[in-house]
Amino acid sequence: MFTGIIQAIGTIAALEPKGEDVRLRVQTGKLDLADVQLGDSIAVNGVCLTAVELPGDGFWADVSGETLSRTTFAGLQKGSQANLEKALTPTTRLGGHLVSGHVDGIGEVVSRSSDGRSERFVIRAPAALARYIAEKGSICVDGISLTVNGVNGSEFDLNIVPHTLVETTMSEFKPGTRINLEVDIIARYLERLLLGDNAADKQAGGLGLEKLQEYGFVKN
The pLDDT averaged over each successive group of 10 residues in the chain (220 residues) is: 96 94 97 96 98 96 96 96 94 86 97 96 97 94 97 97 97 97 89 77 58 52
State the pLDDT at residue 185: 87
Q: How many CB atoms lie within 10 A of CB 149?
A: 15
Please tell me the class of the 8-86 domain. mainly beta
Q: The pTM is what?
A: 0.88
- Sorted by where each begins, the domain ranges of the chain are 8-86, 105-186
At the topology level, CATH places domain 105-186 in Elongation Factor Tu (Ef-tu); domain 3 (2.40.30)
pLDDT of residue 201: 76
Please state, in angstroms and rounded to a whole number, the distance separating the CA atoms of residues 57 and 65: 26
CA distance 201 to 84: 38
Of residues 12, 148, 10, 145, the one with CA closest to residue 88:
145
3-class state of residue 6 by DSSP: coil
Q: Is 79 left (phi over 0), alpha (psi -120 to 50) or beta?
A: left
**Order of strands, sheet of 105-115, starting from the edge strand that comes earlier in the sequence:** 144-147, 138-141, 178-183, 105-115, 118-124, 155-160, 150-152
- Identical topology for domains 8-86 and 105-186: yes
**83 has which bridge partners?**
9
Q: What is the pLDDT of residue 51?
A: 98
| Per-residue H/E/C for 170-187 | HHHCCCCCEEEEEECHHH
